[in-house]
Amino acid sequence: MCRIGGAAATVGVGACVHTAAELMPLGQIMAFRALISGALIVLYGVAMRRPADLVPRRARPHLVRGLLACCAMVLTYISFARLPVSQAQTLAYLAPILVLPLAMARLNERLTARLVVGLVVGFAGVVLIVGLSFGEGALQFWGALAGVGGAVFVAIIQINIRAMSATETAISISLSFTVIVAGVTGLSVLWGNWVWPGTYGVLLLVTAGVFGALNLMLFAESLARAPASAVAPLDYTGLIWALLIDLVIFEQVPGPMGLLGSVLITLAALIVVLEPRRAAPTTPRTPV
Protein backbone atom coordinates (compact mmCIF):
# COMPACT_ATOMS: atom_id res chain seq x y z
CA MET A 1 0.00 0.00 0.00
CA CYS A 2 2.87 2.39 0.72
CA ARG A 3 4.39 1.73 -2.69
CA ILE A 4 1.06 2.22 -4.50
CA GLY A 5 0.55 5.43 -2.53
CA GLY A 6 4.03 6.59 -3.54
CA ALA A 7 3.23 5.92 -7.19
CA ALA A 8 0.02 7.94 -6.84
CA ALA A 9 1.96 10.79 -5.21
CA THR A 10 4.38 10.82 -8.15
CA VAL A 11 1.50 11.26 -10.56
CA GLY A 12 0.04 13.92 -8.26
CA VAL A 13 3.21 15.99 -8.67
CA GLY A 14 2.91 15.68 -12.45
CA ALA A 15 -0.74 16.74 -12.42
CA CYS A 16 0.07 19.83 -10.31
CA VAL A 17 2.93 20.77 -12.66
CA HIS A 18 0.70 20.26 -15.70
CA THR A 19 -1.83 22.74 -14.27
CA ALA A 20 0.59 25.21 -12.67
CA ALA A 21 2.59 25.56 -15.92
CA GLU A 22 -0.31 27.60 -17.31
CA LEU A 23 0.03 30.11 -14.46
CA MET A 24 3.75 30.55 -13.76
CA PRO A 25 7.25 29.74 -15.09
CA LEU A 26 8.64 26.25 -14.60
CA GLY A 27 11.65 27.58 -12.66
CA GLN A 28 9.32 29.05 -10.06
CA ILE A 29 7.34 25.80 -9.84
CA MET A 30 10.48 23.70 -9.37
CA ALA A 31 11.98 26.01 -6.76
CA PHE A 32 8.88 26.13 -4.56
CA ARG A 33 8.13 22.44 -4.99
CA ALA A 34 11.68 21.53 -3.89
CA LEU A 35 11.62 24.00 -0.99
CA ILE A 36 8.35 22.67 0.40
CA SER A 37 9.36 19.03 -0.10
CA GLY A 38 12.72 19.68 1.56
CA ALA A 39 11.08 21.14 4.67
CA LEU A 40 8.74 18.15 4.97
CA ILE A 41 11.63 15.72 4.42
CA VAL A 42 13.52 17.33 7.31
CA LEU A 43 10.48 16.95 9.58
CA TYR A 44 10.11 13.32 8.50
CA GLY A 45 13.80 12.64 9.06
CA VAL A 46 13.79 14.15 12.54
CA ALA A 47 10.66 12.23 13.52
CA MET A 48 11.39 8.84 11.92
CA ARG A 49 15.16 8.63 11.43
CA ARG A 50 18.34 9.56 13.27
CA PRO A 51 19.26 13.24 12.74
CA ALA A 52 22.73 12.09 11.62
CA ASP A 53 21.09 10.28 8.67
CA LEU A 54 20.16 13.67 7.18
CA VAL A 55 23.79 14.78 6.89
CA PRO A 56 25.83 13.78 3.80
CA ARG A 57 29.06 11.95 4.54
CA ARG A 58 30.70 12.99 1.26
CA ALA A 59 29.68 16.28 -0.33
CA ARG A 60 30.89 15.82 -3.90
CA PRO A 61 28.62 12.88 -4.91
CA HIS A 62 25.61 14.78 -3.55
CA LEU A 63 26.55 17.88 -5.55
CA VAL A 64 26.95 15.89 -8.77
CA ARG A 65 23.69 14.05 -8.16
CA GLY A 66 21.90 17.30 -7.35
CA LEU A 67 23.06 19.02 -10.53
CA LEU A 68 22.07 16.00 -12.63
CA ALA A 69 18.70 16.04 -10.86
CA CYS A 70 18.21 19.69 -11.86
CA CYS A 71 18.63 18.73 -15.51
CA ALA A 72 16.30 15.75 -15.10
CA MET A 73 13.71 17.84 -13.29
CA VAL A 74 13.69 20.62 -15.89
CA LEU A 75 13.19 18.17 -18.75
CA THR A 76 10.61 16.08 -16.88
CA TYR A 77 8.58 19.14 -15.89
CA ILE A 78 8.64 20.42 -19.48
CA SER A 79 7.23 17.04 -20.46
CA PHE A 80 4.44 17.22 -17.85
CA ALA A 81 3.65 20.80 -18.89
CA ARG A 82 3.36 19.99 -22.60
CA LEU A 83 1.97 16.44 -22.70
CA PRO A 84 -1.03 14.68 -21.18
CA VAL A 85 -0.12 13.46 -17.71
CA SER A 86 -0.39 9.79 -18.71
CA GLN A 87 2.08 10.12 -21.61
CA ALA A 88 4.57 12.19 -19.60
CA GLN A 89 4.40 9.67 -16.76
CA THR A 90 4.95 6.81 -19.19
CA LEU A 91 8.08 8.43 -20.63
CA ALA A 92 9.45 8.61 -17.08
CA TYR A 93 9.22 4.81 -17.01
CA LEU A 94 12.00 4.68 -19.61
CA ALA A 95 14.61 5.17 -16.88
CA PRO A 96 15.06 1.50 -15.88
CA ILE A 97 15.32 0.56 -19.55
CA LEU A 98 17.98 3.19 -20.17
CA VAL A 99 19.87 2.04 -17.08
CA LEU A 100 20.78 -1.18 -18.91
CA PRO A 101 23.45 0.16 -21.29
CA LEU A 102 24.83 2.37 -18.51
CA ALA A 103 25.02 -0.58 -16.12
CA MET A 104 26.74 -2.67 -18.79
CA ALA A 105 29.39 0.01 -19.28
CA ARG A 106 29.96 0.99 -15.64
CA LEU A 107 28.90 -1.99 -13.55
CA ASN A 108 29.81 -4.86 -15.92
CA GLU A 109 26.26 -6.22 -16.04
CA ARG A 110 25.30 -8.66 -18.79
CA LEU A 111 22.51 -8.19 -21.33
CA THR A 112 20.22 -11.23 -21.52
CA ALA A 113 17.77 -12.14 -24.28
CA ARG A 114 14.88 -11.10 -22.04
CA LEU A 115 16.38 -7.66 -21.51
CA VAL A 116 16.93 -7.26 -25.25
CA VAL A 117 13.19 -7.88 -25.72
CA GLY A 118 12.51 -5.21 -23.11
CA LEU A 119 14.72 -2.71 -24.93
CA VAL A 120 13.02 -3.39 -28.27
CA VAL A 121 9.50 -3.14 -26.82
CA GLY A 122 10.37 0.06 -24.98
CA PHE A 123 11.88 1.61 -28.11
CA ALA A 124 8.70 0.79 -30.04
CA GLY A 125 6.63 2.57 -27.39
CA VAL A 126 8.86 5.65 -27.56
CA VAL A 127 8.54 5.77 -31.35
CA LEU A 128 4.75 5.66 -31.05
CA ILE A 129 4.49 8.43 -28.44
CA VAL A 130 7.07 10.74 -30.03
CA GLY A 131 5.62 10.14 -33.49
CA LEU A 132 2.08 10.91 -32.34
CA SER A 133 3.21 14.04 -30.49
CA PHE A 134 4.85 15.29 -33.69
CA GLY A 135 1.43 15.31 -35.31
CA GLU A 136 -0.02 17.28 -32.38
CA GLY A 137 2.22 20.31 -32.85
CA ALA A 138 5.61 21.64 -31.83
CA LEU A 139 4.81 22.03 -28.11
CA GLN A 140 3.84 18.39 -27.63
CA PHE A 141 6.68 17.14 -29.83
CA TRP A 142 9.31 19.00 -27.82
CA GLY A 143 7.53 17.89 -24.65
CA ALA A 144 7.91 14.27 -25.73
CA LEU A 145 11.60 14.74 -26.52
CA ALA A 146 12.06 16.44 -23.13
CA GLY A 147 10.44 13.44 -21.44
CA VAL A 148 12.90 11.09 -23.13
CA GLY A 149 15.79 13.37 -22.16
CA GLY A 150 14.60 13.51 -18.57
CA ALA A 151 14.51 9.70 -18.45
CA VAL A 152 18.12 9.61 -19.70
CA PHE A 153 19.24 11.85 -16.84
CA VAL A 154 17.22 9.80 -14.32
CA ALA A 155 18.94 6.65 -15.57
CA ILE A 156 22.34 8.28 -15.03
CA ILE A 157 21.21 9.38 -11.55
CA GLN A 158 20.14 5.83 -10.67
CA ILE A 159 23.60 4.52 -11.51
CA ASN A 160 25.14 7.26 -9.32
CA ILE A 161 22.75 6.51 -6.45
CA ARG A 162 23.69 2.84 -6.54
CA ALA A 163 27.30 3.89 -6.07
CA MET A 164 26.41 6.47 -3.38
CA SER A 165 24.29 4.05 -1.36
CA ALA A 166 27.46 2.36 -0.09
CA THR A 167 28.17 5.35 2.15
CA GLU A 168 25.12 7.65 2.04
CA THR A 169 21.62 7.22 3.48
CA ALA A 170 18.56 7.41 1.24
CA ILE A 171 17.13 10.36 3.15
CA SER A 172 20.36 12.37 2.93
CA ILE A 173 20.40 11.81 -0.84
CA SER A 174 16.80 12.97 -1.15
CA LEU A 175 17.32 15.98 1.11
CA SER A 176 20.45 17.17 -0.72
CA PHE A 177 18.52 16.80 -3.97
CA THR A 178 15.75 19.13 -2.81
CA VAL A 179 18.21 21.68 -1.38
CA ILE A 180 20.31 21.84 -4.57
CA VAL A 181 17.27 21.95 -6.86
CA ALA A 182 15.67 24.71 -4.80
CA GLY A 183 18.89 26.73 -4.90
CA VAL A 184 19.62 26.28 -8.61
CA THR A 185 16.07 26.75 -9.91
CA GLY A 186 15.54 29.61 -7.47
CA LEU A 187 18.15 31.57 -9.44
CA SER A 188 15.57 31.90 -12.21
CA VAL A 189 14.05 34.75 -10.15
CA LEU A 190 17.00 36.84 -11.39
CA TRP A 191 15.58 36.61 -14.90
CA GLY A 192 12.60 38.61 -13.68
CA ASN A 193 9.91 36.27 -14.99
CA TRP A 194 8.47 35.06 -11.68
CA VAL A 195 4.82 35.96 -11.07
CA TRP A 196 2.59 36.19 -8.03
CA PRO A 197 0.72 32.88 -8.29
CA GLY A 198 -2.45 33.88 -6.47
CA THR A 199 -4.38 31.64 -4.09
CA TYR A 200 -4.94 28.87 -6.64
CA GLY A 201 -1.30 28.90 -7.72
CA VAL A 202 -0.05 28.76 -4.14
CA LEU A 203 -2.36 25.80 -3.49
CA LEU A 204 -0.90 24.01 -6.53
CA LEU A 205 2.68 24.66 -5.37
CA VAL A 206 2.00 23.48 -1.83
CA THR A 207 0.19 20.39 -3.11
CA ALA A 208 3.08 19.56 -5.45
CA GLY A 209 5.52 19.91 -2.55
CA VAL A 210 3.42 17.68 -0.30
CA PHE A 211 3.08 15.05 -3.03
CA GLY A 212 6.84 15.19 -3.61
CA ALA A 213 7.57 14.60 0.06
CA LEU A 214 4.96 11.82 0.27
CA ASN A 215 6.66 10.19 -2.69
CA LEU A 216 9.91 9.90 -0.76
CA MET A 217 8.39 8.92 2.58
CA LEU A 218 6.04 6.27 1.21
CA PHE A 219 8.74 4.73 -0.98
CA ALA A 220 11.11 4.61 2.01
CA GLU A 221 8.46 3.05 4.24
CA SER A 222 7.63 0.44 1.59
CA LEU A 223 11.27 -0.66 1.49
CA ALA A 224 11.25 -0.92 5.28
CA ARG A 225 8.39 -3.42 5.10
CA ALA A 226 9.09 -5.53 2.00
CA PRO A 227 11.98 -6.43 -0.32
CA ALA A 228 12.63 -3.98 -3.14
CA SER A 229 12.13 -6.72 -5.73
CA ALA A 230 8.60 -7.29 -4.39
CA VAL A 231 7.44 -3.68 -4.34
CA ALA A 232 9.26 -2.13 -7.33
CA PRO A 233 6.75 -3.40 -9.94
CA LEU A 234 3.98 -1.57 -8.04
CA ASP A 235 5.51 1.74 -9.20
CA TYR A 236 3.81 1.14 -12.52
CA THR A 237 0.36 1.43 -10.98
CA GLY A 238 1.11 5.12 -11.53
CA LEU A 239 -0.02 4.70 -15.14
CA ILE A 240 -3.52 3.83 -13.91
CA TRP A 241 -3.59 6.98 -11.73
CA ALA A 242 -2.30 9.08 -14.63
CA LEU A 243 -4.95 7.78 -17.03
CA LEU A 244 -7.68 8.48 -14.44
CA ILE A 245 -6.41 12.03 -13.89
CA ASP A 246 -6.30 12.69 -17.63
CA LEU A 247 -9.84 11.37 -18.02
CA VAL A 248 -11.55 12.84 -14.93
CA ILE A 249 -9.69 16.13 -14.35
CA PHE A 250 -8.25 17.17 -17.71
CA GLU A 251 -10.82 15.38 -19.91
CA GLN A 252 -8.06 14.06 -22.15
CA VAL A 253 -8.56 10.57 -23.53
CA PRO A 254 -5.48 8.98 -25.15
CA GLY A 255 -6.05 7.57 -28.61
CA PRO A 256 -5.56 3.85 -29.29
CA MET A 257 -2.01 4.31 -30.60
CA GLY A 258 -1.01 6.62 -27.73
CA LEU A 259 -2.40 4.12 -25.24
CA LEU A 260 -0.51 1.33 -27.01
CA GLY A 261 2.73 3.30 -26.75
CA SER A 262 2.19 3.77 -23.00
CA VAL A 263 1.44 0.08 -22.53
CA LEU A 264 4.55 -0.95 -24.50
CA ILE A 265 6.89 1.28 -22.45
CA THR A 266 5.34 0.13 -19.17
CA LEU A 267 5.57 -3.52 -20.25
CA ALA A 268 9.22 -3.05 -21.25
CA ALA A 269 10.03 -1.44 -17.88
CA LEU A 270 8.35 -4.32 -16.05
CA ILE A 271 10.38 -6.83 -18.08
CA VAL A 272 13.55 -5.06 -16.96
CA VAL A 273 12.54 -4.68 -13.31
CA LEU A 274 11.39 -8.29 -12.99
CA GLU A 275 14.53 -9.74 -14.60
CA PRO A 276 16.36 -11.77 -11.91
CA ARG A 277 20.01 -10.73 -12.00
CA ARG A 278 22.74 -9.52 -9.70
CA ALA A 279 22.76 -5.78 -8.96
CA ALA A 280 19.60 -5.20 -10.96
CA PRO A 281 18.03 -1.75 -10.76
CA THR A 282 15.44 -2.26 -8.05
CA THR A 283 13.92 1.20 -8.06
CA PRO A 284 12.54 1.95 -11.51
CA ARG A 285 12.41 5.65 -11.01
CA THR A 286 13.81 8.47 -8.96
CA PRO A 287 11.49 11.01 -7.32
CA VAL A 288 11.36 14.31 -9.18
pLDDT, tens digit (0-9, with 9 covering 90-100), for 147-199:
999 999 988 887 787 778 788 888 888 889 899 999 999 998 888 789 998 99
pLDDT bucket at 108, cuts 50 / 70 / 90: low
pLDDT, tens digit (0-9, with 9 covering 90-100), for 30-58:
999 999 999 998 998 888 878 888 888 88
Q: Is the pLDDT of residue 221 over 50?
A: yes
Q: Which DSSP symbol is given to 57?
A: S
- The pLDDT, as a whole number, for residue 277 is 53
- The pLDDT, as a whole number, for residue 89 is 92
Q: How far is CA 217 from CA 44, 80, 90, in A?
A: 8, 22, 22
DSSP per-residue codes, the chain: -HHHHHHHHHHHHHHHHHHHTTTS-HHHHHHHHHHHHHHHHHHHHHHHS-GGGGS-S-HHHHHHHHHHHHHHHHHHHHHHHHS-HHHHHHHHTTHHHHHHHHHHHHH-PPPPHHHHHHHHHHHHHHHHHHHHHHHT-HHHHHHHHHHHHHHHHHHHHHHHHHHHTTTS-HHHHHHHHHHHHHHHHHGGGGGT-----HHHHHHHHHHHHHHHHHHHHHHHHHHHHS-HHHHGGGGGGHHHHHHHHHHHTS-----HHHHHHHHHHHHHHHHHHT---TT----S----
pLDDT bucket at 77, cuts 50 / 70 / 90: very high
pLDDT, tens digit (0-9, with 9 covering 90-100), for 228-272:
667 778 888 898 899 999 988 988 877 788 889 888 999 988 888
Domain-by-domain residue ranges, the chain? 2-273
Q: Is the pLDDT of residue 207 over 60?
A: yes
Q: What is the average pLDDT value for the chain, to the nearest integer?
A: 85
- The pLDDT, as a whole number, for residue 109 is 63
